[in-house]
A = this chain, B = another copy of it.
Amino acid sequence: MGHFNLAKIGHFYFATLGHYHFALTQKLISAAKETICGILFGWIIKQILPEEKVDPIINAVLKPKSIAVIGASTNPDKIGYKVVENLKECGYQGAVYPINPDAEEIVGYKCYASVKDVPYVVDAAVITVPAKIVRQVVQESGEKGVKGLSIISSGFSEVGDHALEEEIVRIAHEYGMRIIGPNIIGVLSNSDKMNASFYNNLPYEGKAALISQSGALLIAMAAATYTRRVGFDKMISIGNQADLDFADLISYLNEDENTSCLTLYIEGIKDGPKFMEAARNCTKPIIALKAGTSAHGAAAAASHTGSLAGSAKVYEAAFEQAGVAQAEDLNDMFDTTLALSLQPTMKGDNLLIVTNGGGVGVLATDAAEKYGLPLKFAPEDVQEELKKHMPSFGSAKNPVDITGGAGLAGYYEGVKYSYAHPWVDGMAVLYCETSVTDPQEIAEAIYNAIHESGASDKPIAVSFIGGERCEKAKEWLIEHDIPTYDAPDLAVKALSSLRKQDELLKTAHNGMYKPTNIDKEKALQIIAAARAKGRDALTEVEAKHVFKAYGLPVTSTDLAKTEEDAIRMANEIGFPIVMKIVSPDILHKSDAGAVKVGIKNEQGVRDAYKLIMENSLNYKADAEIDGVAIQEMAPWATEVIVGSVNDATFGPTLMFGLGGIFVEVMKDVTFKVAPIDEATALDMQSEIKSSKILEGARGEEPRDQKALADVLAHYSYMVYDLRDEIAESDANPVIVYEEGEGVAVVDARIILTKK
């Protein structure tokens, strides 16, 4: 990757010697040592680790050994002062070079007039100068050999100046530099004691990493981590994503040893497929809070960041497909981060609840059903053992109510035994403050019970309801890696997130689906022919031929140009048949009286042909007529709709729902980003509310869901493969027959992309 450019470093070393020959300070020696060690260490690492695990340039931005603050100020009210001060105050161990032509030193660091004047290696530059000067300092940073830039300065695409933003990225790339920002707060990292931002404090220590598209929210969240006790190792303000984007940082943080879970605040993703790929390849949990899910919210988001909001439904699908958990709101984002950053995933559905209060036990039980982990009664042996540690009026069934009188021993014995029991996949332990127990002692009893149980790799979440003493005990538990909440339902919700995460990590890593026997050439020819005639839509017959080229079971359809054609084709297909006009000028064929169904014999074909032609010309005298479509008449069964759009963010996206009122009135549809495999296609069928109809409702036989999954998968590959050609499409209706009887695509529509 050319990261450790020995020639360049040698040159600097040489230059250094020239300038400072007689004043070789201690600092220089240590810097030189660091440089040499860095080279050696980098070389060793390269030999041990597989190539490209961590992008060294991104590493230089997020974990720099030396930082130049370009725009450093002596005025404590300025951002350029605060960044330098924060680096010092938070204990950054690397070298700091404030760049300011008019100052000698800032908070004890020697200043330089230009980054080019710094006589040492500079890993990263934090830029705080006004937008109009950014171009120049980026250029200078490149010339100096800086690797990465954090551009705090604002005044770029977020205020409409896209050209300036593109220009600085171009310059940076010319020198092999990468950029975070512009328009950011900066980068904060507890493990590196690095606060390269203008917010004056590192977040409460923890194992999560936040990437935030809102600077204000990042600052507020950093402050809030202390009162909420949700710890983060890193907080990265991503700003306009002019260069490095969510995907780049996800890939980077997936390799970061101090990050156990990634938390994203997203207003808009620039490259959907790139994001999905990075998320799919990430082996750590990712939680995303997507802002702008409402129509008015999306407009507000666009107006303040200039980012495209995209469809909330498609974001939801993309997150699910890429294994990203979507947070409902800010509190849910904190709560889920706490659970996913501290606990292992939940490998099965058996949730056990232990409580000292019947009421909160019931609330937790309700929550378990609500969040998809409905409670089951504990096995007999668990019940028998638990009964030994509670009063006779307690309940060992699940929720396990050890009662208010149970105290320390009840919690310790109850939790220890159940946590170790193989039936239990995850535990929620609930505590209501009482007059006779000490919350801190209960917290320690729970912790000891878990650690002395002999079991591990199953999650636990705790809820303490009460006052100040409970708050303290809650903090203690969190410091000991046990996520603790102030409401019983939140502990259950946390476990549900851990259960869901287990499923997400399993299903998200599906490879790219590609069916065989695809005739892409033929499809492209049909499309090219239509485009050659100046059309931006295919006729039904053309669209069906494209569908067929992608292996979709369309009803046999041919285009008859004469009555004799029609008779021959009808005999080939077999009666009964359907006949329809094919004309780019007649879209509403039924209104024109240009559709005839149930034609049973040759005479019928002759009559229909004449009538359709006559009605069509009556409807529009100058209509361009391609001919009459002769179609197999599919027997009726369950009607579904398959369609696609090209989402602005995620590209070709598949839509699926049951026909008629289900889509039109009940809006009962589901989306997936294309392509999808057959397993995902089966998921789509079970996701819709009317899924029971496909499974065989009201005493009917189940429909052929497997054949339908095959159609969905092929369709998704078609719209993905032809994404440059197809703007939107649908197959409506698709008829789904009984199990084993297959599927028939009866009608087809394709609108082409503008070229």
A residues with a Cβ closer than 8 A to B are 82, 159, 198-200, 212-217, 219-221, 223-228, 265, 267, 289, 291-297, 300-301, 303-305, 329-331, 356-363, 365-370, 374-376, 393, 395, 397, 399, 401, 404, 432-435, 465-471, 486-490, 661, 664-666, 689-690, 692-693, 697-698
Q: Which residues of B contact A370 (CB under 8 A)?
A: 294
Which 4 residue pairs are nearest across A and B when measured between Cβ atoms? A214-B359, A216-B357, A223-B467, A304-B358
B216, B224, B433, B692: the one contacting A665 at CB < 8 Å is B692
B159, B223, B329, B358: the one contacting A216 at CB < 8 Å is B358
Q: Which residues of B contact A226 (CB under 8 A)?
A: 467-468
The CA-CA distance from A671 to B204 in the complex, in Å, is: 49
Q: Which residues of B contact A227 (CB under 8 A)?
A: 467-468, 470-471, 486
Q: Which residues of B contact A292 (CB under 8 A)?
A: 362, 365-366
Q: CB distance B697 to A329 under 8 Å?
A: no
- A-B contacts, 12 listed (Cβ < 8 Å): A213-B359, A215-B404, A216-B356, A217-B360, A217-B465, A224-B465, A267-B359, A296-B365, A296-B376, A300-B358, A331-B487, A665-B697
Contact A330/B665 with A294-B366, A296-B368, A466-B223 known, Cβ cut-off 8 Å? no
Q: Which residues of B contact A213 (CB under 8 A)?
A: 359
Q: Which residues of B contact A305 (CB under 8 A)?
A: 358
The CA-CA distance from A214 to B395 in the complex, in Å, is: 16
Kindly report which residue of chain B lies nearest to residue A222, judged by CB atoms. Answer: B467
B329, B395, B433: the one contacting A304 at CB < 8 Å is B395
Q: Which residues of B contact A294 (CB under 8 A)?
A: 365-366, 368-370, 374
The CA-CA distance from A419 to B82 in the complex, in Å, is: 36
The CA-CA distance from A463 to B82 in the complex, in Å, is: 27
Kindly report which residue of chain B lies nearest to residue A431, judged by CB atoms. Answer: B220
Q: CB distance A219 to B435 under 8 Å?
A: yes
Q: CB distance B214 to A369 under 8 Å?
A: no
Contact A397/B303 with A330-B465, A363-B291 known, Cβ cut-off 8 Å? yes
The CA-CA distance from A580 to B176 in the complex, in Å, is: 86
* Cβ of A406 to closest chain B Cβ, rounded Å: 11
B293, B331, B359: the one contacting A291 at CB < 8 Å is B359
Q: CB distance B358 to A198 under 8 Å?
A: no
Kindly report which residue of chain B lies nearest to residue A467, judged by CB atoms. Answer: B223
The CA-CA distance from A360 to B224 in the complex, in Å, is: 14
Q: CB distance A433 to B223 under 8 Å?
A: yes
Q: Which residues of B contact A225 (CB under 8 A)?
A: 467
Kindly report which residue of chain B lies nearest to residue A401, judged by CB atoms. Answer: B304
Q: Which residues of B contact A220 (CB under 8 A)?
A: 357, 360, 432-434, 465-466, 470
The CA-CA distance from A299 to B710 in the complex, in Å, is: 43
The CA-CA distance from A368 to B404 in the complex, in Å, is: 40
* Cβ of A421 to closest chain B Cβ, rounded Å: 19
The CA-CA distance from A126 to B220 in the complex, in Å, is: 49
B265, B359, B361, B692: the one contacting A265 at CB < 8 Å is B359
* Most B CB within 10 A of own CB, among A300, A305, A486, A661: A300
Q: CB distance A297 to B217 under 8 Å?
A: no
Q: CB distance B356 to A661 under 8 Å?
A: no
Q: CB distance A329 to B223 under 8 Å?
A: no
* Most B CB within 10 A of own CB, among A215, A221, A331, A365: A365
The CA-CA distance from A292 to B304 in the complex, in Å, is: 44
Q: Which residues of B contact A399 (CB under 8 A)?
A: 300
Kindly report which residue of chain B lies nearest to residue A213, judged by CB atoms. Answer: B359
The CA-CA distance from A523 to B175 in the complex, in Å, is: 92
B159, B216, B489: the one contacting A434 at CB < 8 Å is B216
* Most B CB within 10 A of own CB, among A357, A362, A490: A362
The CA-CA distance from A393 to B217 in the complex, in Å, is: 18
The CA-CA distance from A469 to B222 in the complex, in Å, is: 13
Q: Which residues of B contact A465 (CB under 8 A)?
A: 217, 220-221, 223-224, 330
Q: Which residues of B contact A432 (CB under 8 A)?
A: 216-217, 219-220
B395, B404, B468: the one contacting A303 at CB < 8 Å is B395
Contact A159/B661 with A224-B467, A362-B304, A363-B330 known, Cβ cut-off 8 Å? no
